[in-house]
Amino acid sequence: MCNLYSMTRAREAVLRLFRVSDNRAAAIMPLPAIFPGHMAPVVRRTADGDRELVRLSWGFVLLQDGKAPRRVTNFRDDKARSSSFWRPSFEQRRCLVPASSFCEPKDTKPATWHWFALRGEEPRPLFAFAGIWRNYRGAMKKDGLPVDLDVFAFLTTTPNALVSTINHERMPVILSTDDEFEQWMTGTPAEAFKLTREYPPDAMRIVQEGAEKSDQLIES
């Protein structure tokens, strides 16, 4: 499970990679640490089939009897097409979650935080998590006032050889090419699900480790 990531690239780089027009894009800033519940940039399709860049809240809202609702940030590949909680969004509302790195803690005391990024000509090549989104209307706290909020989560699969050195259970599904972006956004559910796989470990690296819960590199 991934509950911390960064998106440290400038707005112009995001619009360029994900082919979003300036007039369809919200104002965004580099974010060195994105936690559950934070607002973060997401690329999704508009009603006319174009792409837009919006800021959504990270974590679907799971209602619990007698308790406060719980934020759920990731969904598993073996649940995407079978769970009534996830399936409608996977089938109808897939999106791209821009990112420059993601973090996993090693189970030590105190924890050592490991930041993973893609290899490339840049220190933190931009990529996307395979995401979904939905609208939530209801309370965020037990007996709280209702809110109207668009939320997102992203898909996870088994970890590759690099990520499994830190997290033995899951890693995010990573998309890095324009063809993959288009297939995830516009393909059938079956076509989109074909993208569910471990990202090649030799195409990734650990770029930072230690006590910091934020990626220390902010790029242009």
Range of the domain at 50: 5-197
Distance CA 167, CA 32 (A): 21
CA-based radius of gyration for the chain: 17
Model pTM?
Answer: 0.95
Q: With bands split at pLDDT 50, 70 and 90, how would you rate the model's confidence at 126?
A: very high
Q: Give a yes or no: residue 209 inside a domain.
A: no
- How many residues appear in the chain? 220
Q: Give a yes or no: residue 79 inside a domain.
A: yes
Q: What's the number of domains the chain is made of? A: 1
Q: Give a yes or no: residue 208 inside a domain.
A: no
Q: Tell me the one-letter amino acid at 58.
A: W
By the 8 A CB rule, do 140 and 151 touch? no
Q: How far is CA 34 from CA 3, 165, 195, in A?
A: 8, 23, 24
Q: What is the pLDDT of residues 155-199, one digit of tens each?
A: 999 999 999 999 888 999 999 999 999 999 999 999 999 999 999
Tokens of 160: 């590759």
Q: Give a yes or no: residue 139 inside a domain.
A: yes
Q: Give a yes or no: residue 118 inside a domain.
A: yes
b/e burial code for range 193-203 (CB count within 10 A of at least 16 → b): bebbebbebee
By the 8 A CB rule, do 15 and 22 touch? yes
DSSP secondary structure letter of residue 111: P
Distance CA 72, CA 77 (A): 14
Q: Give a yes or no: residue 113 inside a domain.
A: yes
Q: What is the pLDDT of residue 82?
A: 94
Q: Give a yes or no: residue 26 inside a domain.
A: yes
Q: Give a yes or no: residue 219 inside a domain.
A: no
Q: What is the pLDDT of residue 108?
A: 67
DSSP secondary structure letter of residue 144: P
By the 8 A CB rule, do 2 and 171 touch? yes
For residues 5-17, give the mean pLDDT: 96
> Domain containing 48 — which CATH number?
3.90.1680.10
